[in-house]
Amino acid sequence: MLLLTGWWAFAPVAAAGGAKPGGPPEGTHVSLSATVETSLPNDEVVVHFRVEATGKDVAALRARVNRVSALVRERLAREKGVTLQTLGRRLEPVREYDSVRRRQVQVGWRLVQEGEATSRLLDAVPAWLDAIEKAGAHLSGLNYRVSGERRRRVMARLEVQAVRAFRERAAAMARALDAASYRIVRLSTGSAAPVPVFRKAAVMAMEAAAPPPALSPGQGRASVTVSGEIVVPARAFKAR
């Protein structure tokens, strides 16, 4: 579905004997814009997850996090088209309030490793999403989005359509002013890429014995706006 919108403004410019060198062209200047918008299905998913362990023995925490991370990596390696990336790893102190000392005291450590899995095979996502959670990973978030390749193709097509829509609007404006032609003196484009659909971790949380989650990729919207200025030959109209 395509949506066209626009606006315009008038600014007459006149100069005796023609336009001045370096000045604006003589005639009636009209500012207008045209927007082309479309919706398209999301074709890529990005899953953020973390593996963490809390306790006093740092060596045991490392072993736990390393083991779960290895299970997640091995499981995703069996999935065609899944790209796995480690985003970070940190060891942080765990503190609690000591009512006797009346201050926060350290009671242990928390080791956290964060990762990201990306895939375009959306039908397979629920199965491996369920598998890595059962392996011990904690899901932090899930984004559905339009892949970069498709986004670039769609935006390039919308730019051409928006320029055509701008020309059609400019031609209509020239005809409304009883002008046989017009000239474009300024033209610029702006775009709005599809916004990712974010699913909160709470929505995805499930019990270990629960079936794989039911997910809906949804759609994204993209738009391109062409703004510019045209000039049509000056013409005197009778006042009514």
Q: Is 51 domain-assigned? A: yes
What the block records as the tokens of 4 is 């066209």
At which of 109, 128, 145 does a domain end?
Answer: 145
- Reported as a single tens digit per residue, the pLDDT across 4-50 is 444 445 555 554 444 555 555 688 999 999 999 999 899 999 999 99
Distance CA(15)–CA(29), nearest Å, equals: 13
HEC string for 91-104: EEEEEEEECCCCEE
Cβ–Cβ < 8 Å for 35, 5: yes
Q: Which CATH number goes with the domain that contains 52?
A: 3.30.70.360
At which of 85, 117, 145 does a domain end?
Answer: 145
Q: DSSP string of the chain?
A: --EEEEEEEEEEE--TTSPPTTSPPSEEEEEEEEEEEEEEE--EEEEEEEEEEEES-HHHHHHHHHHHHHHHHHHHHTSTT-EEEEEEEEEEEEEEEETTTTEEEEEEEEEEEEEEEEES-GGGHHHHHHHHHHTT-EEEEEEEE--HHHHHHHHHHHHHHHHHHHHHHHHHHHHHTT-S--EEEEEEEEEEPPPPEEEEHHHH---TTSPPPP----EEEEEEEEEEEEEE--------
**pLDDT band at 197; cut points 50, 70, 90:** low
* 191 vs 96: which has the higher pLDDT: 96
Q: Are residues 140 and 50 in the same domain?
A: yes
What's the pLDDT score for residue 17? 43
What's the pLDDT score for residue 237? 82
Q: Are residues 188 and 118 in the same domain?
A: no
Total number of domains constituting the chain? 2
Cβ–Cβ < 8 Å for 118, 82: yes
Task: Map tokens 């000056």 to a residue.
Answer: 234
**pLDDT band at 176; cut points 50, 70, 90:** very high
- Reported as a single tens digit per residue, the pLDDT across 61-102 is 999 999 999 999 999 999 999 999 999 999 999 999 888 888
The neighbour count for residue 55, using CB atoms within 10 Å, is: 15
Q: Is 207 domain-assigned? A: no
* 185 vs 211: which has the higher pLDDT: 185
Instruction: Residue 14: give the domain boundaries.
Output: 3-40+150-195+222-232
Tell me the whole-structure pTM to 2 decimals. 0.68
Q: Is 64 domain-assigned? A: yes
